[in-house]
Structure 1
Amino acid sequence: MSSDDLFKILKADGWELDRTKGSHHIFKHPEKKGIVVLPHPRKDIPKGTENSILKQAGLN
């Protein structure tokens, strides 16, 4: 899965881009706790990293 696909999934769930640090986009959710860090732009994100990002977002 690409970082663009994960970006769209996070945005659809209500996550908002809080800030960018280098090649990493940091998202916050208005209701959920914590942050989600997404390496961007990447064409292929490893499956383990993808699962970890989705788990952090509460979308597993």
Structure 2
Amino acid sequence: MVTRDFSGYDVMKVLVNKGNFERTRVRGDHVRLEWVHPDGSDVETRHVTVPLHDRVRVGTLRQIAENAGAKEFDAFCRWVDRNR
């Protein structure tokens, strides 16, 4: 069974440290991350907003995975769990 119990800080930390996202701003308890293709090609920039809550709801986590470019939600959760 894949764990889906992550804090917002865990998700943000993995996206920044392993996913090459950069923090662009913080508003209240939400952080905005941005991903730009490493070689600067014309691939669209990705923006992800992560709530820095103790526990991120599954629907919110699914939206974060989709915005981050994950193709499969369970694989994204395993990746976050491995790298937190």
Which TM-score applies when normalising by structure 1?
Answer: 0.84
3-state SS in 2 of match to 1:27: strand
Alignment partner, residue 51 of structure 1: 62
Q: More strand by proportion, 1 or 2?
A: 1
Count of residue pairs brought into register by the alignment: 59
**Structure 1: tracts of 5 or more residues without a match:** none
Could you list the structure 1 runs, at least 4 aligned residues long, displaced by more than 3 angstroms after superposition.
Answer: none
Q: Calculate percent identity across the aligned residue pairs.
A: 25
Which TM-score applies when normalising by structure 2?
Answer: 0.63
Q: Which has the larger radius of gyration?
A: 2
Alignment partner, residue 13 of structure 1: 19
3-state SS in 2 of match to 1:18: strand
**Structure 2: tracts of 5 or more residues without a match:** 1-5, 38-43, 73-84
CA RMSD of aligned residues (A): 1.3
